[in-house]
Amino acid sequence: MCAITGVLNLLGAPVAAPRLIDMVASVRHRGPDDTGFHVQGPIGLGHARLAVIDLAGGAQPIHNEAHTVWVVFNGEIFNYLELRAELEARGHTFYTQSDTEVLVHLYEDYGRDFVQRLNGQFAIALWDAGARRLLLVRDRVGIAPLFYYANPAELVFGSEIKALLAAGVPARPHLAAIDQIFTWWAPLAPDTAFEGIHELPPGEWLEADARGVRTGKYWDFDYPASGNYTAAPEAALADQLRSLLDDAVHIRLRADVPVGAYLSGGLDSSVIASLINQHTDVKLCTFSIGFASAGLDETPYQQAVVDDLGTQHARMDCEGGTIADALADTIWHTEIPVLRTAPVPMRLLSGFARANGFRVVLTGEGSDEVFGGYDIFKEAKVRRFWAARPDSAWRPLLLRRLYPYLDITRRGQGYVRSFFGQGLGDVEAFAFSHLPRWHTTALCKQFFAADVQSALAALPPMDVRLAASLPTGFTRWHPLNRAQYLESKLLLPGYLLSSQGDRMLMANGVEGRFPYLDHRVIEFAAALPPRLKLRVLREKYLLKRAMAGRLPAAVLTRPKQPYRAPDIAAFVAARPDCLDLMSPATLRDYGYFDAVKVGHLVRKALSGRAVGQRDNMAFIGILTTQIWHHRFIANPVRLQYRVDSSMSQGTTPCRLNHA
């Protein structure tokens, strides 16, 4: 992974090179190894490189033989060797050994449809000089980020919003997106927390030229209508799945630098580590996080996998004080408020991996979305069963099997109905599976200031917009597949692959690779009968069958443990000074939250009484919104860079010097 930036002047005026240099400098953490530029007439392309493939010759931008097609690219094309062989057989010549160069030649042969040939994770900016057209493309599931700002005069784009701000795009809060974060944990693309700045959604392209800006979709998660599933024996499907995953892992080991793996102790990362071991003659290096709290720590399971696979393992212990100290810088990288501190340890872990000499790691992200692993899927199944007898006193008690740490019996039927009983009257509602989670999260909005609540009330309802974005065949899908789609289009790209994924990895110049999100694996799993993903209340059934006998039984059969990190306690104990941003004066100045209500929450936290999920989400959401506003809106940092004297038109490496 790297960073790409660029400016297209839609009126034809030349792009100023110093502006482009500032943009690249703002995201240099993503690509610490090199920078490169192509500035010619109305187009300027910039690149900060994290060297992974073709270390000596893979510098970007890269062009075709005639210098008429130019590309900057963030990510990896894992099937580039196969594509290169095809292209050479058709007469194309290459001047590098990089995966990037296949892009310009594929474009020459297939036009915009070249993206259908790619197996990878990518954000691509391609300039067609003959057509005077810019093409932006983002990978199918949203692993690589890509943001843009457009007005009648120009289009500005970059891998992070910081690059757009460095180009002079104004930083203004987008209240509707913040409202979405406080329900869905992330904005619905193309919205971002900044007004006027858009995110190119996963699986979409954007074209810009003198006629304006156009967008379109080339891929989406898709499921068969209920009943039209893959028909094959279960054992054969398990073998096919294992073969697909094995190849997805194999091609993601292609690199000219060492490749490691994250190991959480759960099923998903353990499967990946096991498959990696089959394709390497050197000892696999694995990395994990440990917590002091037994309720958060997974060290015993991590060690069981390490002992079984014989990996060279390194563990980083993460304490509450460390999380509190690192939160502000973490929000600088997420570029949005978050409702959990979970991104912080992930940023620290990537720094740990980098310090140990690794710039590429494989992870288990995506398995829960693809194979039906989340408790929310099981919860929805129980709630559907409950809805058939809504007056039943025992059916909701099945939720104890999912959440044994909740004393549902003691709390009583009223609590269970208020928490899990959302929407029981309409089990076919498009968001039935997610209503309890969204309702609980949205309760944090009670802390919004009155004028913010009034402004949001005047906007079209969020659920209407979300419903309008769903595919036409959504209602014909099985309920599990509907829930999977919602999870895969909202939480996965907007939070897990961003705030907990790419941003935390690339903050330290580390590339994450995600075998479960190989589009072949996704499409295979989408066609499976739902019972092979969720068998009664046993999640990821076929994946477990495919890996039976290849992992320790304790890992293969353990209940899923959601990844969490210390929240409120980390701040009130270790960093009470962080509460300065939650002072009444600052709250009133920034304007998002009611100072009196937040004051009650802060006092509750300081007294040790704010221990529930709702209080934790509200506290962290308020604090990170205040940090976000402080860093990006109230006190924007503008680093000035001096242009190297060698900078000229064309493609030129540029040395960045602080003024």
**Does a structural domain hold residue 640?**
no
**Does a structural domain hold residue 349?**
yes
Query: Of 173, 194, 219, which residue sits at a domain end?
Result: 219
CA 256-79-257 angle, 5° bins: 10
Judge if 358 and 392 occupy the same domain. Answer: no
Judge if 412 and 352 occupy the same domain. Answer: no
Tell me which residue of 110, 11, 23 sits closest to 72, measured CA to CA.
23
Count of the separate structural domains present in the chain: 4
Under 8 Å between Cβ of 635 and 643: no
CA 597-602-607 angle, 5° bins: 130
Judge if 338 and 385 occupy the same domain. Answer: no
Distance (Å, whole) CA 231 – CA 224: 12
One-letter amino acid for residue 605 of the chain = A
**Sheet hosting strand 285-291, strand order edge to edge:** 312-318, 285-291, 260-262, 360-362, 511-513
* Cβ atoms within 10 Å of 214's Cβ, excluding its own: 10
DSSP letter assigned to residue 56: T
295's CB contacts (< 8 A; 6+ apart) are none
Lowest mean pLDDT among 197-201, 389-393, 427-431: 389-393
φ/ψ (deg, to 5) at 385: -60, -40
Q: Tell me the pLDDT tens digit for each residue of 368-424.
A: 999 999 999 999 999 999 888 888 877 877 877 777 655 555 555 666 777 788 888
Judge if 160 and 28 occupy the same domain. Answer: yes
Average pLDDT of the residues in 339-349: 94
Interhelix angle 320-334/613-628, nearest 10 degrees? 50
In this model, does residue 652 exceed pLDDT 50? no
Residue 247 sits in a domain whose CATH number is 3.40.50.620
- Hey, what are 652's tokens? 């030129």
pLDDT interval class at 488 (50, 70, 90): very high
**Does a structural domain hold residue 458?**
yes
φ/ψ (deg, to 5) at 651: -100, 120
**Does a structural domain hold residue 651?**
no
**Does a structural domain hold residue 54?**
yes
Judge if 64 and 163 occupy the same domain. Answer: yes
Full DSSP string of 367-393: HHHHHT-SHHHHHHHHHHHHHTSTT-S
| Mean pLDDT (the chain, rounded) | 91
**Does a structural domain hold residue 58?**
yes
Please, which residues bridge with residue 317 across strands? Answer: 290
136's CB contacts (< 8 A; 6+ apart) are 123, 124, 125, 126, 146, 148, 157, 200, 205, 206, 207, 208
In this model, does residue 244 exceed pLDDT 60? yes
Average pLDDT of the residues in 46-62: 96
Judge if 475 and 508 occupy the same domain. Answer: no
- Hey, what are 307's tokens? 């002992």
Q: Tell me the pLDDT tens digit for each residue of 129-179.
A: 999 999 999 999 999 999 999 999 999 999 999 999 999 999 999 999 999
In this model, does residue 628 exceed pLDDT 50? yes
Judge if 30 and 140 occupy the same domain. Answer: yes
Residue with structure tokens 């960073």? 3
Full DSSP string of 339-354: SSSTHHHHHHHHHHHH
Distance (Å, whole) CA 231 – CA 103: 36
Residue 343 is predicted with a pLDDT of 95
Under 8 Å between Cβ of 504 and 354: no
Lowest mean pLDDT among 25-34, 251-260, 379-388, 623-632: 379-388
**Does a structural domain hold residue 128?**
yes
Judge if 251 and 316 occupy the same domain. Answer: yes
Residue 45 is predicted with a pLDDT of 98
Q: What range does the domain containing 305 cover? A: 234-370+487-556
pLDDT interval class at 637 (50, 70, 90): low
Peptide bond into 190 cis (omega under 30): yes
Judge if 538 and 471 occupy the same domain. Answer: no
Full DSSP string of 254-283: --SS--EEE--SSHHHHHHHHHHHTT-SSP
What torsion do the CA atoms of 390, 394, 396, 402 make, to the nearest 10 degrees? Answer: -160
**Does a structural domain hold residue 657?**
no
Query: Of 479, 498, 513, which residue sits at a domain end?
Result: 479
pLDDT interval class at 613 (50, 70, 90): confident
Query: Of 169, 185, 219, which residue sits at a domain end?
Result: 219
What's the length of the chain?
659
Residue 206 sits in a domain whose CATH number is 3.60.20.10
Judge if 532 and 611 occupy the same domain. Answer: no
Under 8 Å between Cβ of 262 and 510: no
Judge if 37 and 179 occupy the same domain. Answer: yes
pLDDT interval class at 367 (50, 70, 90): very high
Indicate which residues carry an active-site annotation. 2
Longest distance between any two alpha carbons in the chain, whole Å: 77
Q: Tell me the pLDDT tens digit for each residue of 291-343.
A: 877 677 788 889 989 999 999 999 998 887 888 889 999 999 999 999 999 99
In this model, does residue 653 exceed pLDDT 80? no
The continuous run of DSSP H or E covering 48 comes out as strand 43-49
Judge if 33 and 180 occupy the same domain. Answer: yes
Residue 393 is predicted with a pLDDT of 77
